[in-house]
Every structure is written in structure tokens, then in C-alpha cells.
Amino acid sequence: MIQFKTHIGLLQHLPGMHYLEVPQEVVQQLGTLNIRLHCNVNQKLTFQCGLMALGEGKAYINISKKRMQELGVKLHDTVTITLEKDDSPYGTEIPEEIEELLRQDEEGNRRFLLLKPGMQRYMLNHVSAVKSPQLRVNRAITLIENLKKLPEGKENFRAMLGLPPR
């Protein structure tokens, strides 16, 4: 577990995207940017995250406006961060709807397991983003059915959502 104080910044290249700066010393302690973490802010809110390179050996963690509102913080505020390694299989919660579907659909499960971790997390987060259990089931089915139709190694988010290519 690593604890440090940092500030909330705004990414210049992604307008409206707020972040928590991770100092170079902390990145060195973690040993890599390629790690999934549990991030606790001000001992009030914990979420799963990853690190993105910020330059000069520093990194950042995205923080949504919704999470900032929950915490009662704003741009340039100083916050206390606690980071712990996330040992969960996918680096995010697995909604029970997609977990059950993958248990029942052998080919869907096989294809899901072939995806890169970021693509797996995208699918899991897309399913869990809605509150209604029926909508989560519908999203899980749509994603897995579309995934099975795609050529292996050619998967992309738009196609899994059933959207036409750009």
C-alpha cells in the first residue's frame, strides 16, 4: 500500500478530463505503469484504475466529474491517495449477468478470454454501466453475440456494440 498527497489536474490534450497526478517516486515504487490498482481518495471513495504516462517519469489516474462531485473536490484541490495492487482477474468488477452468460456460452467465453485485458474491461464496464438488471443482460448478450461474429484478432469496440465501421 502506498499513500501520498497530490492534486487534481486537467489534461490539456483531452479537454474536460480530470486526473490525479502520481509522482515519479510512486511510479518507481510500483515498478511499472502496466499495473491495475485500487485507488482510494481521501479515505472516502475507492475505485479500480490503471496508470497512464504523464511524462518526466510521472503518471496519472483519470477521475470522473461524478467521482469528484461525490468527494466534494474540484480542479487544483489537494487530495490524499492510497494505492493498492488489484489482483482481480480483469481489473474491474464482473457483473453477474455477463459472468452467468460466459458460464453458459462456451464459444462466447473462449472468445472473451482471447481478448486483450483492456477489451475485456471495456465489455465488463459497458455491461455494468446501466442499473437495470434486464438492460445488463441485454448488453451482455449483444456484446458476446457480436464478438462471436467477428474474426479472431479483428475485434473492436464499435463492432461489438453492433455499430457500423467508420
> Residue 90: inside a domain, yes or no?
no
65 and 120 in a single domain? The answer is: no
Tens digit of pLDDT for each residue in 16-65?
889 999 999 999 999 888 888 999 999 999 998 999 999 899 999 999 99
Q: What is the reported pTM? A: 0.69
The whole domain housing 122 covers: 96-161
> Residue 39: inside a domain, yes or no?
yes
Sign, CA torsion 37/40/46/49 = negative
Residue-by-residue DSSP string for the chain:
-EEEEEEEEE-SSSTT-EEEEE-HHHHHHH--SS-EEEEEETTTEEEEEE-EEEETTEEEEEE-HHHHHHHT--TT-EEEEEEEE--SSSSS---HHHHHHHHH-HHHHHHHHHS-HHHHHHHHHHHHTSS-HHHHHHHHHHHHHHHHHSPTT---HHHHHTPPP-
Residue 20 CB neighbour total at 10 angstroms: 22
> Residue 60: inside a domain, yes or no?
yes
CA torsion 163-154-126-108 (nearest 10°) is 110
Domain closes at, from 85, 110, 139: 85
> Residue 166: inside a domain, yes or no?
no
Structure confidence at residue 107 (pLDDT): 96
Query: 120, 90 in Cβ contact below 8 A?
Result: yes
Tens digit of pLDDT for each residue in 105-164?
999 999 999 999 889 989 999 998 889 999 999 999 999 999 999 999 889 888 888 888
